[in-house]
């Protein structure tokens, strides 16, 4: 099911993401998703996240779909040229996977194969444009497709807590013009920054899901502050994680923080996207605490 259909009906869309394993044993990922994420609208599958080689996103999406879940195919431009990107999109459509999230992708130097040659033949904006062409029955080379054209719910990413809101709004506008129908955000830890961004972003009339990462410990959030562009974890939240080390270690504090951020942001967005990073078992509790 296309998640855009639910946005159009005014439903608050809930998604979470899973990362394929670094190997071919997929049963654990599928079972965890079935156990903890089956009540959500859809499940994102990351595409060699952080430039670390893993099992393919498309294959994992197919396995999740066969298990009764609704996958979102994350597709990055880092590892494929325009021929391979279009081919994978057609393959996804053939498998009945009709949700896609278009990403440029992290540089290869950040991952476990730093010597790999990055491709970046397209970026996220031109990839969105490409999806639109395929939906019209034509490829980037101007050649007609044979038979039925694919149809996707086309998603993109935006960073609402970036230092430059205007730059993010400009990127968002370009993506909307290229065909983006929904957005999932980079992780939000500062609700006030998110709300300020959304007051300006609502001009585009495109649904936005607030991105949530469960803060596991002080070291994790300090690392993100120092190394992840577009993320800002307030000092007050760091102090909250430091206050009760046992509570934080058990994941209770992180779950409470995640649920609180969702509650604060919910009136200003159309859904939530949870990046659990191995804590998928905590997703149902977070949504329950958030009143969803």
* Cα–Cα distance for residue pair 64/113, rounded to 1 Å: 27
Predicted pLDDT at 245: 84
Paired strand residues for 72: 44
CA 152 vs CA 18, 71, 213, 261: distances in Å:
20, 12, 26, 30
Chain segment 109-159, per-residue pLDDT in tens:
989 999 999 999 999 999 999 999 999 999 999 999 999 999 999 999 999
Chain segment 248-263, per-residue pLDDT in tens:
988 999 999 999 999 9
pTM for this prediction: 0.95
- Position 87 confidence tier, pLDDT thresholds 50, 70, 90: very high
Predicted pLDDT at 244: 87
Evaluate whether 179 touches 134 at the Cβ level (below 8 Å).
no
Predicted pLDDT at 47: 96
Mean pLDDT (the chain, rounded)? 95
* Cα–Cα distance for residue pair 265/212, rounded to 1 Å: 11
Q: Examine the pLDDT at 227 and tell me if it is beyond 90.
A: no
* Cα–Cα distance for residue pair 255/121, rounded to 1 Å: 39
CB atoms within 10 A of CB 169: 18
Q: Could you tell me what percent of the chain has a pLDDT over 70?
A: 100
* Cα–Cα distance for residue pair 55/24, rounded to 1 Å: 7
């Amino acid at each position: 099911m296309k998640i855009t259909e639910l946005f159009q009906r005014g439903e608050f869309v809930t998604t979470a993401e899973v990362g394929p394993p670094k190997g071919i044993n997929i049963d654990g990922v599928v079972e965890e998703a079935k156990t903890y994420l089956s009540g959500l609208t859809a499940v994102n599958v990351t595409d060699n996240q952080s430039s670390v080689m893993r099992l393919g996103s498309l294959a994992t999406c197919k396995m999740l779909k066969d298990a009764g879940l609704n996958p979102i195919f994350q597709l990055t431009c880092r590892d494929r040229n325009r021929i391979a990107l279009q081919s994978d999109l057609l393959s996804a459509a053939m498998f009945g996977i009709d949700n896609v999230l278009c990403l440029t992708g992290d540089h290869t130097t950040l991952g476990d194969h730093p010597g790999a040659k990055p491709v970046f033949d397209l970026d996220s904006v031109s990839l969105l444009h490409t999806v639109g062409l395929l939906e019209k029955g034509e490829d980037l080379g101007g050649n007609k497709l044979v038979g039925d054209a694919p149809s996707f719910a086309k998603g993109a990413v935006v960073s609402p807590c970036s230092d430059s809101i205007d730059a993010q709004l400009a990127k968002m506008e370009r993506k909307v013009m290229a065909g983006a129908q929904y957005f999932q955000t980079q992780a939000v830890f500062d609700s006030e920054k998110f709300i300020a961004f959304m007051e300006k972003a609502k001009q585009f009339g495109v649904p936005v899901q607030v991105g949530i990462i469960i803060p596991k410990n002080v070291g994790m959030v300090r690392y993100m502050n120092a190394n992840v562009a577009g993320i800002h974890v307030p000092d007050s939240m760091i102090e909250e994680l430091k206050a009760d080390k046992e509570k934080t270690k058990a994941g209770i504090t992180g779950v409470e923080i995640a649920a609180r951020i969702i509650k604060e942001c919910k009136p200003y967005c159309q859904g939530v996207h949870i990046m659990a990073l191995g804590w998928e078992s905590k997703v149902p509790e977070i949504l329950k605490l958030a009143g969803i």
